[in-house]
Structure 1
């Protein structure tokens, strides 16, 4: 890119960021939730109008991907979606991989490995991740299941004498466990022991190394078609979720367990937030693949990669 192109990018970047900043400030000044949502979601529309005015209509796919990511991020913020590292990592993975597959062409393996295919590169790492990761995920599932069971027992103990249980009351039981019956002391000990990670550092290192290698290979050396793009987006998001889940959810935080159990006990808001968050990510993935297909149709058929 020459100086003129970089100047064009910088100018449009400044204008779009300024529009977003002004819209955000106006949204904060509003008290009506519907007005805030309308102003927040229409930010990409204003950006698209600016690009159209300056002659950026030829960047349809690029602009579409950018607007899609902005709208989806705004939607997740608006609905207060799951903020765990694994969920955030999946959304970022879908966004970054989507930008790569829609705006860049895949690389050829000839310049790196002359007599190997993409399947040869990723078959062994993905197989090992599937087997080894399955055992590690089972550990985490059992850990969280036991923690939820123990937390529910403590909640039931308090609910026997009052209509609604609050999280600080349950946490107070954990701190003063010696005054509890023997059975409840056992559940408190389980919650305390669950704060120790069940995944070792060496196991995480293996999973991170194999996962990063697989993601890079599948994304950069993908087949030049919408099928190759779909494989890159879905596989990258899945591997990112696995390694982040193993990294950040290998231990239990009692306050989070109690808060989650109480929210599920007294309302369906948490469940609906998680469902809509998954719907947003699924819609973003499908939209990215549609834009990718349009890009392949616009460029015409190409020779398959070796």
Structure 2
């Protein structure tokens, strides 16, 4: 007698058969690798809360670039740690700032490597907020002027993509207008469209020396409880001319990522943030998990949720592991 149930296991019987019907794939071409560059010489500072991730002075940065290229990772995003900070984040839009110089060096050494520039002020301000502070409040429109100057300076240095992460209202529109007026009509904007006020950013603030000196960022970054608001934010950035949409963090917001992907044909980017990275590294150091298996499964979950690209500190390791498989 023929059983009445379905034999779904038929398509899992061999590795080749499983590969034939695999719905989601992960490739090194999906990865964007974050790098922290710092003023000074002969500096390679490991970030205590992010094992294996460093701040590099430019003379040490070249070796890290070589690792990226040899692993086959096609793109990087640069975060700068300046030697001086002020209330307006002046070093962010200095044409000889640390990110601008790192961008120029990258394009000289590896012109085909895609360079993204994080466009924010928090690493450059002495108060640690992402814009101009009036009293205890971040002034939206004053901040936009400085962010536009930063974006143009980064594009002038050779950045292939501008990635604004500040979460000011209207930032995509203002940056797009500034880039176009400066002649950078072909430089795309990868907007941090959906960026939550998350506890997962803690290790990054160590790496970028960007912790707020007072208050928090909840008046401009999103409430983790909100889903519909994320769609409004994404719609705004689409209307303003964004070319990519980032969802940050990734792992606890896979539901949001799927909804953003379903609402747009633009490429969606997952940011696998510092806290997500550090938790895996800590558990792996204790021998509690298989780091390779956990990382590849986690990154695959982001692709399955709708991400076209993934910013991840695991990028070099993951690219090498995928080559082994």
Which category describes the TM-score, using the shorter chain as reference length? under 0.3
If asked which structure has higher relative contact order (CA below 8 Å, sep 6+), I would say 1
TM-score normalised by the chain length of structure 2: 0.24
Considering fraction of residues, name the structure with more helix: 1
Considering fraction of residues, name the structure with more strand: 2
